[in-house]
């Protein structure tokens, strides 16, 4: 059996931690020794004013179990609010080891009917909010030579979901942000992963049947998150999670086809479409440069040129 995962001495910020998944993550961290900043302004699922005391209630739960926690009501899309939260955390505990970006809102409509203000607001909270909190903590983690970051995505972003263009766009962006930060953070032992959860929360209670909601409790997901922020965490992983099920989502590129100058026409691409999309031999690419090198090598080979640049 693997060694117990503990967070003694670690300090964690969990956004949107007053209810649902965030609350479950915060409690799980605290049970395993972490000191936790419970961030939640107490808004509704649409982002309107709601119950402002939800963060304090979670802090009280943590303290009742003998843990340490503090509440902060920062709006994660506000640079000023986030800076204050990070400053208070450093004043209280002197370090920040873990950031779980969980805060989010929903404003669902079909794209044709959606107000662009609602599109921007959802992107602001999910994407800009995650970037704000992570960016504010990044220099601290670099100085410590240690950091663990989770960005919360969704199947709606990875696979799509009708009526959620704003939410899906923001959640898909988490994968791109992770791919870059996992590379940039590697030198300083900052590991960055994406969680794509399916859980029974305020956001899903009207979308799923009761039987499914009972199976998809938030506490069936948090164990996986504890692995993503542990000392031995992976980096650059998209973890799907729900009802005790865990998966890894990967992005592959097909081998494709390289066309000669004469063939490189719209008609030529259309004629080669079956080869373009053939999954045989598809592979994961470690970074964007690997694709550039692949294309250049293939083109050089077609033309009988020698090109050593970009060899893996």
Our answer to whether residue 246 is catalytic in this structure is no
**C-beta of residue 155 within 8 angstroms of C-beta of residue 149:** no
**C-beta of residue 40 within 8 angstroms of C-beta of residue 101:** no
| Cross-strand pairs, 179 | none
Kindly state the tokens that stand for 231: 């000392």
Query: DSSP for 108-138?
Result: -B-TTT--HHHHHHHHIIIIIHHHHHHHHHH
* Residues 28, 19: Cα–Cα separation, whole Å: 13
Q: What are phi and psi of 101, to 5 degrees?
A: -85, 105
| Cross-strand pairs, 194 | 151, 238
What lies within 8 Å, CB to CB, of 48 at 6+ separation is none
* Residues 192, 153: Cα–Cα separation, whole Å: 13
* Residues 214, 119: Cα–Cα separation, whole Å: 31
Q: Which residue has 């400053």 as its token pair?
A: 87
Kindly state the tokens that stand for 30: 């605290």
Which residue in the list 119, 138, 146, 167 is annotated as catalytic? 167
| Angle at the Cα of 19 from the Cα atoms of 104 and 132, rounded to 5 degrees | 35
Q: What are phi and psi of 14, to 5 degrees?
A: -120, 120
* Residues 200, 138: Cα–Cα separation, whole Å: 31
Give the residue numbers annotated as catalytic, written as ranges: 167
């Amino acid at each position: 059996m693997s060694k117990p995962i503990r967070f003694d001495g670690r300090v964690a910020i969990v956004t949107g931690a007053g209810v649902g998944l965030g609350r479950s993550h915060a409690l799980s961290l605290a049970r395993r020794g972490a000191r936790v900043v419970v961030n939640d302004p107490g808004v509704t699922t649409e982002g309107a004013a709601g119950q402002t005391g939800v963060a304090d209630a979670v802090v009280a739960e943590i303290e009742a179990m003998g843990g340490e926690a503090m509440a902060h009501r920062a709006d994660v899309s506000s640079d000023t609010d986030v800076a204050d939260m990070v400053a208070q955390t450093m004043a209280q505990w002197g370090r920040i080891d873990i950031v779980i970006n969980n805060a989010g809102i929903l404003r669902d409509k079909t794209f044709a009917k959606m107000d662009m203000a609602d599109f921007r607001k959802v992107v602001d909270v999910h994407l800009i909010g995650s970037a704000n909190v992570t960016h504010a903590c990044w220099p601290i983690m670099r100085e410590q030579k240690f950091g663990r970051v989770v960005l919360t995505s969704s199947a709606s972003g990875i696979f799509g979901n009708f009526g959620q263009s704003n939410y899906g766009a923001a959640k898909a962006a988490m994968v791109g942000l992770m791919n870059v930060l996992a590379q940039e953070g590697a030198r300083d032992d900052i590991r960055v992963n994406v969680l794509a959860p399916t859980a029974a929360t305020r956001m899903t209670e009207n979308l799923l049947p009761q039987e499914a909601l009972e199976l998809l409790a938030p506490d069936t997901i948090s164990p996986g998150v504890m692995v993503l922020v542990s000392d031995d965490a992976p980096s650059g992983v998209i973890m799907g999670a729900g009802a005790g099920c865990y998966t890894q989502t990967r992005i592959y590129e097909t081998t494709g086809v390289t066309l000669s100058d004469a063939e490189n026409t719209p008609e030529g691409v259309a004629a080669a479409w079956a080869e373009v999309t053939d999954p045989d031999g598809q592979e994961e690419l470690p970074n964007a440069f690997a694709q550039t090198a692949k294309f250049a090598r293939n083109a050089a080979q077609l033309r009988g040129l020698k090109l050593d640049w970009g060899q893996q």
